[in-house]
Amino acid sequence: MNNLLLKLTDSLRNTANLGKLTGAVKIEIDGHGVIVADRSGVTNDDADMACVLQTSIDTFQQLLAGSLDLESALGQGKLSLSGDEDVAVSLAQAFAPVGAPRFSSSADATEIAQAIRRHGAAIVENAAPVDTIDTIASQLRPHFDTIGKEPQSDFNGYTTLRLSEVLMRSRASADLIGHDLVTAIADEILLQHCVNYRIGSCTGIEIWPGESAQRLHQDGSIYPMNIPGVEWQISALWALSDFTEENGATRLLLNSNNKITPLLRVEQALTVPAEMPKGSVLFYMGSTYHGGGANNAEAPRMALVNTYALGWLRQEENMYLSIPREVAKSYPEKIQRLMGYQSCGPLLGYIATDEHIGL
């Protein structure tokens, strides 16, 4: 048996979360031999197995390193699968991180963006002062209480309050919407495909006890097509209260972003909760499957989720109509631009009398 195979066998034993496996899987590595793994361990003893993967040494190394995920490898034809798909799905889970990658607020935007690209999501802990968060929560409170039930629906839930027109209801929300780390990360993800981007929507979401888990979905599916490698938008979801699994922390299907073929499985059991303290922000791609969690706690969970979309796309929320012009005018230029008071390039969205703002 060659040394490389032994090394990779060890690496699988030590790095993968084999407890996730629902059965035994045989991995045939071209020209090197086989690795057989199940919940109890890893061997190189060849035997018939219900689930067989066949791949190259390069691809297997990338899977182990986390730089490629199993479903992408399958979609790209770098791996073939026969037999029990459920076991293959559980192996994909064994390679996925146990939770969303986490960073401190001093982390580098490029590094955070890299983690978001790789795993579909990342959390930056304590990215805003608790005072700012409490101010926003108290500015939104009366609106949640008066009109928060209006958007209730099968998708939004019936024990959840929601608000749009956020910049009109909470001046302090601008601190999060225009937060420098958020826009630095949005720059990294979006500016590959546009000269500038805008807010898609800003939504306050308060999940009350008794709410069940929201259907898993991709926020980017408001745009009716996909281009492989292009994200239409990124979401920054702020915890305005502590997020715990029990109180409805957002559920994430890690590694579900940017797939060229449909995922093998999209189900709640495969998701992880974005647990984070108040003032933290969760980033996820427009293509990342996620949903609000079930709230089984005693108190509500509050979030502000802001999306940032390529500048040549229509905005999800019509900011020109939802935020009165006088209110828009009162914000700093960075926020005005994010609201849409700028053109994308010289022509798209231009007005005759002003080069960008029109306010």
Considering only 26, 119, 198, 290, the residue that binds ligand AKG (CB under 6 A) is 290
Residue 217 is given by DSSP the state B
Q: How far is the CB of 137 from ligand AKG (least distance, A)?
A: 15
Give yes or no for a contact between 181 and 122, defined as CB atoms under 8 angstroms apart.
no
Task: State which residue, 83 or 99, has the beta carbon closest to ligand AKG.
Answer: 99
Query: Cα–Cα distance between 235 and 241 in angstroms, integer?
Result: 18
Among residues 57, 74, 68, 73, which one has the least CA distance to residue 96?
68
303 binds, among Fe ion, ligand AKG, none (CB under 5 to 8 A by kind): ligand AKG
Q: How far is the CB of 235 from ligand AKG (least distance, A)?
A: 8
Task: State which residue, 56 or 296, has the beta carbon closest to ligand AKG.
Answer: 296
Q: How far is the CB of 192 from ligand AKG (least distance, A)?
A: 24
Query: Cα–Cα distance between 92 and 17 in angstroms, integer?
Result: 10
Q: How far is the CB of 59 from ligand AKG (least distance, A)?
A: 32
DSSP string covering 165-194: -HHHH-TTHHHHHT-HHHHHHHHHHHTTS-
Q: How far is the CB of 139 from Fe ion (least distance, A)?
A: 23
Q: How far is the CB of 14 from Fe ion (least distance, A)?
A: 35
Task: State which residue, 8 or 127, has the beta carbon closest to ligand AKG.
Answer: 127
Task: State which residue, 95 or 223, has the beta carbon closest to ligand AKG.
Answer: 223
Any contact of residue 250 with ligand AKG (CB under 6 A)?
yes
Query: Cα–Cα distance between 299 and 148 in angstroms, integer?
Result: 16
CB atoms within 10 A of CB 20: 17
Task: State which residue, 101 or 157, has the beta carbon closest to ligand AKG.
Answer: 157
- In the complex, which residue's CB is closest to Fe ion? 219
Query: Cα–Cα distance between 169 and 209 in angstroms, integer?
Result: 24
Task: State which residue, 285 or 344, has the beta carbon closest to Fe ion.
Answer: 285
Query: Cα–Cα distance between 100 and 167 in angstroms, integer?
Result: 29
In whole angstroms, how large is the CA radius of gyration of the chain? 22
Quote the distance between the C-alpha of residue 59 and its chain's center. Answer: 25
Considering only 89, 140, 166, 303, the residue that binds ligand AKG (CB under 6 A) is 303
Residue with tokens 């109890």: 40
CB atoms within 10 A of CB 135: 16
Mask for 181-220, x = binds Fe ion (CB under 5 A):
--------------------------------------x-
Q: What is the contact surface with ligand AKG in residues (CB under 6 A)?
A: 205, 214, 219, 250, 290-292, 303
Q: What is the contact surface with Fe ion in residues (CB under 5 A)?
A: 219
